[in-house]
Amino acid sequence: MAKGSDFLGGVLLGVIVGAAVGLLLAPQSGEETRESLREYADELSDKVVESSRQVLESSRDLLEQGKSQVTDVVKRSSELVRKAGDGAVDEA
């Protein structure tokens, strides 16, 4: 998850810095500035939604991999316990 949150933080920071630089370097009327801010907010919203979707998808993939690995370990452990139990019965 750290990679996903780092990425999302970078996207947010990049959009904010880009918006600030754009506003400072391009003198506009108040109406134009408000429109620019609306556009930046819409772009930021879209990027946050997309980044969140990617993080969620990655998390789901990792969860499935973890479940699969745990299932495999449980199966192997059960088999080893069963074999150990069979060996103990044979020795008795």
Structural domain count of the chain:
1
Q: State the residue range of the domain holding 26.
A: 2-91
Given a contact cutoff of 8 angstroms between Cβ atoms, the answer to whether 82 and 39 are in contact is: no
Cα distances (Å, whole numbers) of residue 25 to 19, 28, 34, 56, 89? 10, 9, 15, 36, 83
Given a contact cutoff of 8 angstroms between Cβ atoms, the answer to whether 7 and 56 are in contact is: no
Which tens digit of pLDDT belongs to each residue from 36-85?
888 888 888 888 888 888 888 889 999 999 999 999 999 999 999 888 88
Q: 15: burial class by Cβ within 10 Å (0-12, 13-18, 19+)?
A: middle
Q: Is the pTM of this model over 0.85?
A: no
Question: Phi then psi for 10, rounded to 5 degrees?
Answer: -65, -40
